[in-house]
Amino acid sequence: MGPASSRWTRWRASCAEEAGVPAAIGPLLCAEADTAGRHLTLYYRATVAGQPRPDGVEIDAYRYATLDEAAGLLGTPAPPWLPATAGWWGADDAA
């Protein structure tokens, strides 16, 4: 994956390309390993500057959701680490 600085640069560029907005990425919130499928999912805090613009290809829609809404949207209870992030985002980040 390369040095961390180039990883952040790639993720910021990906947000700008796919969502049409600049973003600040990090820190790592959680890593989930699916050993049966040999898959690792990394969750990072990301703060976008502006309203995302779905491109209709990789992103067809977006919405902001509260922690209470997350279970209904995801179809499963919110992961145990997610409620621990409550309060990390200020009013400016949630709009």
Kindly tell me the burial class for residue 19, based on how many C-beta atoms sit within 10 Å of its own C-beta (0-12, 13-18, 19 or more). buried
Asked whether the bond before 80 is cis by omega within 30 degrees of 0, the reply is: no
pLDDT for the residue 95: 38
pLDDT for the residue 17: 85
Top pLDDT among 93 and 53 is at 53
Task: Record the pTM.
Answer: 0.62
Dihedral of CA atoms 87, 89, 90, 93 in degrees, nearest 10, equals -160
pLDDT for the residue 4: 60
pLDDT for the residue 60: 82
Task: Say which DSSP state 78 is in.
Answer: P
Q: Tens digits of per-residue pLDDT, 15-30?
A: 888 888 888 888 888 8
